[in-house]
Amino acid sequence: MDISSIKYMVIGNPARHSLSPVMQNAAFELIGEGAVYGYRELDIDDLDSFAEFAAKNLKGFNITAPYKRDIMRFCGEIDAEALEADSVNTVKIVDGVMYGYSTDGYGLLKALEYELKIDVPESEIVIVGAGGAASAAAVALKHYGVKHITIANRSLGKAEKLAAMVDGSAVALEDKAKLIPFLSSAAVVINSTSLGLKPGDPSPLDKSEIEICRSIFDMVYLPTELQRVAIELGIPVANGLAMLLYQGAKAFEIWTGKTAPVEAMRCALYHEAERRRKL
């Protein structure tokens, strides 16, 4: 890929695993722009220089863990939902000015409906994690009228802060006695942590906790220990591919003003995911 042709990309750490380039390039090629979407792995100290580069050379970019909050300080304007969620995963650049959006919540809602047939307004939902993806998810679920949201996180303080934003409950992951009832009553337990992005990562929940879940949605779209155990136990589980698809389609529309070719993006995304599984 000619780096000079790149006008969009995904940034994060890690980012080289991302399926976004395959999916987005299928869409951009369909509208005649060619393969203009790439990726870049960054350390936190690289964000300032990247922002300067992006303002001069890119039309937009996506942000994955762990920089969905850090990128906000470079945005000249931030969409109301992203501001409420304190998370930006999509940036559009116009005349060197960065405009921040969050498409994660939209992607999650579409994925829960598509993959697990979850009736969100009637459901109790547990979100594991309290980072940028969790914030976007919780805010979107609140706006969609979810019955109750529980935030489960290693740091109770962070869980409480996010839970307060959505009138939900907070529980520390280590507090098994309090955690178990929330897990068992939830229609779906959502993993928003990055555990699973790196080989050998453990599951955020242990086997005894997974087996009482009614269904699990793992935002990580790679095979993870959480998904493996859920499948072994016969628990309905979906990975983050559908969420990636729909948040990516929304980002494409923000950047281009055109209707996203969702089926072309889906075909490219799932084909590449399957190819990698066989490697």
Residues recognised as catalytic: 68
CA distance 110 to 116: 10
Residue carrying the six token digits 């690289």: 46
Dist. CA 117–CA 138, nearest whole Å: 18
**CA-CA distance, 160 to 220, in Å (whole number)?**
24
Question: For residue 92, how far is the Cα from the chain centroid?
Answer: 18
Instruction: Give the CA distances from residue 2 to residues 15, 34, 37, 70, 121, in Å, rounded to whole numbers and listed in that order.
Output: 18, 11, 10, 28, 46
Name residue, tokens 């934003």: 165
Phi-psi region of 262 (alpha: psi -120 to 50; beta: other; left: phi over 0): alpha
Sign of the CA dihedral running 70, 74, 79, 83:
positive
Nearest to residue 42, comparing CAs of 34, 51, 32? 51
**Amino acid identity for residue 32 in this structure:** G
213: nearest Cα among 160, 152, 135, 154 = 152
Helix (H, G, I), strand (E, B) or coil at 202: coil
Q: Is 200 in contact with 224 (CB distance < 8 Å)?
A: no
Q: How far apart are CA 75 and CA 90, in angstroms?
A: 11
Residue with tokens 């594991």: 128
